[in-house]
Structure 1
Amino acid sequence: MATIREVALKAGVSVATVSRVLNKSDTVREQTKQKVEQAIRELNYEPSVLGRNLRNSQSKLLLILIPNISNPFYTKIIKGIEDTVIEKGYNILLCETNSNPKREAIYFNLVRNRLADGIISMDPTVDKEKLYKLASNYPIVQCSEYDESGIIPYVSINNELAAYHAVKHLIKLGNRKIALINFDEKFLYSRERYRGFVKALEEFEIPVNKDWVYHTDKLTFDSGQQAMRILLTQKEKPTAVFAVSDILAIGALKELNEQGLCVPQDLAIVGFDKISFSNMTNPTLTTVSQPMYKMGCLSAEMIIKKINGEKVNSCMLEHELVIRDST
């Protein structure tokens, strides 16, 4: 592969002149420019994108922090991010943290060392103190899970209101014995969705039955199935379940099917997120739809604006309750 020095030698100019031609500088005479371009063609020279980016103090690389790449919730968001940044000359690197502080440190150092220009964090398990500290000097945006104090700009939905609408739907169908399958409440969205669940019950003067509130330790199909299995062992059984994630809801639905119960006749169920699998279950799953692709597009636009020194504001998007056969 030819080097920039070889191009300069063949064209009879300095390396700096070749560099100015490559960077489309208008300070190079047309005759000199043509000689350099001819030498580039003859030598089949390809300039180093990395070298050019480093000279411009930009890597054109964005880090996307997610806790687990297997979670289908992130798929459409990532697609929105990728479609948006590629159009603007950027690339993305998916960074699966697995809630591991050592991995986080590696990704944060990529930004500190200018090997990446910024971070879009979708990881609810990230070390918030370290993320806030990094955000004071480098471009960071949060997507879905966000910072309540407003230190870092974010794109999300009103999780409490969305959960309230989902549970209110179950109540209006005649259900007063409603269970909740929740994830760990150290995560903001779990706390917010719990508050929405309680708000709907209180509005209709329905007490919260602590025996019907189950917290899983993992966000997996198996965890949802286990949660439903335990709820069905209660002396007094619920007639409906609100799960804070479609993954948990689909696992719960599997357990109901295995026990020969009819949904929604024996027990209605509502999920959250509208992942692609939610329309493939039997019966199809009623769920809260988040505008995941749009969330990805907006978070990508925000991070590029921050990289360019522009001010960005946080954004709350609308949700939608998608009513299907499980209610």
Structure 2
Amino acid sequence: MKKITVSLIAEKAQVSPATVSRVLNHRELVKEPTIQRVEAAMRELGCQIENTVTVSKETQPLIVLNIPGIENAFYQEIIRGARVSAKAHGCHLLIHESHLNKGNLLDFCNLLRRVDAAGVILLNRVSEEGLNQIRVIAPLVQCCEYNEHADYPYVSIDDSRAAELATEYLLSNGGSKIALINGPGNFKYARKRQEGFMNALRKAEVMIPKQWIVQLPEVSYEMAYAAVCRLLNSDSRPNAFFTISDVFAAAVIRAAKRFHLHVPRDILVVGFDNIELSSMTSPSITTVNQPKFQMGYTACEMLLELIEDPQEEMKSLLLDTELVIREST
């Protein structure tokens, strides 16, 4: 007698094995026509489906949200947005903290299987091969960070354009000697924001010393403070800073005070993200506002649509940013 497997049912119903699994375990996430197609295939194959598809009312689908680091305040609003969406649809949200790479991707995939993840939201940039491995287990949506060479949906911003506009604003306000305090180069946002920064300088025909472009290995206040102090302690120092994080901008303000420089009279400062800290410093920080809550919420909504219909063609989305003018400029 031929063994009836999920793959066999999927082939008969012309759906993916993941869809069959959801019909069996999370049918509330699947459209009724798809359920009927899978059940019809099961009947034709001789499956007893009455007890198989009974799902406990207490069973709630689990969405896994992967972030690079919980200590970065930027991620808090994204998590909140995803949680609001997940809760509205009767899903649990599990936060998984790790920089995903070849070394730990297998562990992550095993975790997804172990918790029977209904879907995945990724805030790490993952290789195309890695994305393919995750997609075999569950639908996925990329958020903030994304692999532009892979055909998987994402929600993000145009980092390059946002940085270019912020730099142009500094130039128009007299910040002709601009330094960049950047983050780890393995992140898309750091590369794109530096690209936008350099585009603005090129257009304005402004040249800066190579050492004024500072690349830090992580978003660390103390690292940024030490780096800015070195720049301000030199004979030729910048009169403006564009930083790719509000945490870095706060470090610039503290370093300026150490050298008895006034912000914004002597030093102009622009940050990025518009986290709560940006309005709490003295002076408050001019910054690029990212729609953080909206990104998390939208990523989860897109994922839930994919869970319901894995064959649906999902378009990626770039959300608008806004320069919030405050006291640091």
The normalised TM-score by structure 1 is 0.78
Aligned position for 1:326: 328
One-letter amino acid matched to 1:292: K
- Asked whether the 8 Å contact 1:59–1:114 carries over to 2, the reply is no
Per-residue CA deviations over 1:205-261 (Å, capped at 9, x if unaligned) read: 112421211111121111221221121133311100000111111122222223322
Name stretches of at least 5 consecutive residues in structure 2 with no aligned partner.
1-26, 28-53
Aligned position for 1:61: 62
Indicate the SS of the match to 1:65: strand
**Share of identical aligned residues, percent?**
36
- Asked whether the 8 Å contact 2:85–2:301 carries over to 1, the reply is yes
Indicate the SS of the match to 1:265: coil
The normalised TM-score by structure 2 is 0.78
Distance 1:136 1:202, change over 3 A: farther
Aligned position for 2:181: 181
Matches of 1:130 and 1:99, distance apart in 2 = 9
Aligned position for 2:318: 316
Matches of 2:60 and 2:147, distance apart in 1 = 27
What RMSD, in angstroms, separates the aligned Cα atoms of the two structures?
2.3
Q: Which moved more, 1:137-146 or 1:92-101?
A: 92-101
1:89 matched to 2:90:
yes
Alignment of 1:1-327 (within 5 A): 52=55, 60-98=61-99, 104-113=105-114, 115-124=116-125, 126=126, 129-135=129-135, 138-309=138-309, 310-327=312-329
- Structure 1 residue 103 displacement after superposition: 5.4
- Asked whether the 8 Å contact 1:305–1:311 carries over to 2, the reply is no
- Structure 1 residue 107 displacement after superposition: 3.0
Per-residue CA deviations over 1:235-291 (Å, capped at 9, x if unaligned) read: 311100000111111122222223322101111110100001110001000000001
- Asked whether the 8 Å contact 2:143–2:296 carries over to 1, the reply is yes
Aligned position for 2:30: none
Matches of 1:128 and 1:266, distance apart in 2 = 46
Q: Which moved more, 1:161-170 or 1:226-235?
A: 226-235
Q: Report which of the two structures shows the higher radius of gyration computed on alpha carbons.
A: 1
One-letter amino acid matched to 2:91: Y
- Structure 1 residue 150 displacement after superposition: 4.1
Matches of 2:265 and 2:237, distance apart in 1 = 14
One-letter amino acid matched to 1:317: L
Name stretches of at least 5 consecutive residues in structure 1 with no aligned partner.
1-22, 24-50
Distance 1:244 1:177, change over 3 A: same
**How many pairs align?**
275
Q: Which moved more, 1:229-238 or 1:81-90?
A: 229-238
- Asked whether the 8 Å contact 1:63–1:95 carries over to 2, the reply is yes
Matches of 1:260 and 1:93, distance apart in 2 = 46
Matches of 1:231 and 1:106, distance apart in 2 = 42
- Structure 1 residue 102 displacement after superposition: 6.0
Matches of 2:128 and 2:217, distance apart in 1 = 20
Indicate the SS of the match to 2:184: coil
